[in-house]
Amino acid sequence: MKSIKLVILLLSLSFSCYSQKKETIKIPEGIVYKYSNPKIVEKAKLLIQENLINNSKYDLADTNLIIGPILWRRFKEYEKINTIEGGNVEFHVDNLVLKGKISKSIEDSKIIWDVFRDEIKSDFKIRKATEFELTYYWTVISFDIEEPLLIVETKEHNYILNLDPKGLKLFWLDEVPNNNKNFVQYRNGEEVKDIPKGEKETAIESITLLNTDEELRENTSVEDLTEIINETKKIFEDLFMNSDKSGKIMVHFELKKDTNEVNFAVKDDVDLILMKEFENRVLSLKLPKSKKESIQFKILFKINSFNETNEN
């Protein structure tokens, strides 16, 4: 009997230790934030630290790495970054245009990491994000936030690093704006103070092309892309036009020479039964293949929702 009590006591202590290690943060209303096992977060912190200190380590490098819009405003001036061919992207949200960069090889991701590592010249701290940092990141992305999401804080800049929880590879690197004024926004070619919320409706909110014009011309056609968008829109409207729930759906297409890939992400209170049917129908579409290099683009749908803004 004593041994049973001892086992129960040890189990309760282990669960208590686990809960104490989990660092919770304040999540702004409306933002979907998924916690990871604390061990994964701590391992990510250690990897980031080791890869910043040791110039020969590239454990975080993967094929695709996105440089977010705030960091890109500075990184585009670096000579090393300009050696990366292609990958210049524009994030289109309503009439807002945000420029960024996406690497398409591990070698290009290593170049980006080298430039980032060179910027971290003095002391730095690795921590979780604040409310403001989460709010900024949420306005840029089209998927739920999932840990490890970490901030590398220095005297000059605070950097956003989002890693894949399975492989602990870095897929998003950006800089936190010091305040909202540093987040330059454009509408009809003019800088504006606020992002228009648009109408609360069920419709396509934005289409983001993740390739250059030259890459698009060489590997696909306007007709093919238009057909994919129209077919996906038709399925979306057929299923969600009369939905009582609200939220966002992001569909990420990657057209390849051999096998195409389609990935989905949702925000807020999307009807999951309808979502499952939506996935099945989109995956059943006969998508055209890329001629040579992969072509990637995202469609963001809103359901009874406004557009993403800095106020959301």
DSSP for 145-175, written as a single string: EES-EEEEE-SS-EEEEEE-TTT--EEEEEE
Q: Residue 69: count other Cβ atoms within 10 Å of its Cβ.
A: 24
Residue 63 sits in a domain whose CATH number is 3.10.450
> Domain for residue 124, yes or no?
yes
Both 163 and 209 in one domain: the answer is no
Q: Is the pLDDT of residue 217 over 90?
A: no
> Domain for residue 265, yes or no?
yes
Both 178 and 32 in one domain: the answer is yes
Q: What is the mean pLDDT of the chain?
A: 83
Q: Is the pLDDT of residue 15 over 80?
A: no
Mean local confidence (pLDDT), 273-295: 94
Beta bridge partners of 206: 300
For residue 244, give the amino acid letter. Answer: D
pLDDT at 96: 57
Both 133 and 267 in one domain: the answer is no
Both 177 and 211 in one domain: the answer is no
Both 86 and 42 in one domain: the answer is yes
Question: Which of these three, 185, 209, 225, is where a domain ends?
Answer: 185
Both 97 and 178 in one domain: the answer is yes
Both 177 and 214 in one domain: the answer is no
Number of domains, the chain: 2
**Nearest-angstrom CA–CA distance, 28 and 109:** 31
pLDDT at 281: 96
Place of tokens 């990366």: 84
Both 39 and 109 in one domain: the answer is yes
Both 42 and 160 in one domain: the answer is yes
pLDDT at 126: 96
> Domain for residue 156, yes or no?
yes
> Domain for residue 171, yes or no?
yes
Question: Which of these three, 155, 185, 215, is where a domain ends?
Answer: 185
> Domain for residue 135, yes or no?
yes
pLDDT tens for residues 249-267? 999 999 999 999 999 999 8
pLDDT tens for residues 221-251? 888 998 999 999 999 999 999 999 999 999 9
**Nearest-angstrom CA–CA distance, 148 and 60:** 12
Q: Is the pLDDT of residue 180 over 80?
A: no
Residue 95 domain boundaries: 26-185
**Higher-confidence position of 59 and 197:** 59
Mean local confidence (pLDDT), 79-104: 76
The band of 141, judged by pLDDT with boundaries at 50, 70 and 90, is confident
pLDDT tens for residues 30-88? 889 999 999 999 999 999 999 999 999 999 999 999 998 889 989 998 999 989 888 87
pTM passes above 0.85: no
Percent of the chain's residues with pLDDT above 70 = 82
Question: Which of these three, 185, 213, 234, is where a domain ends?
Answer: 185
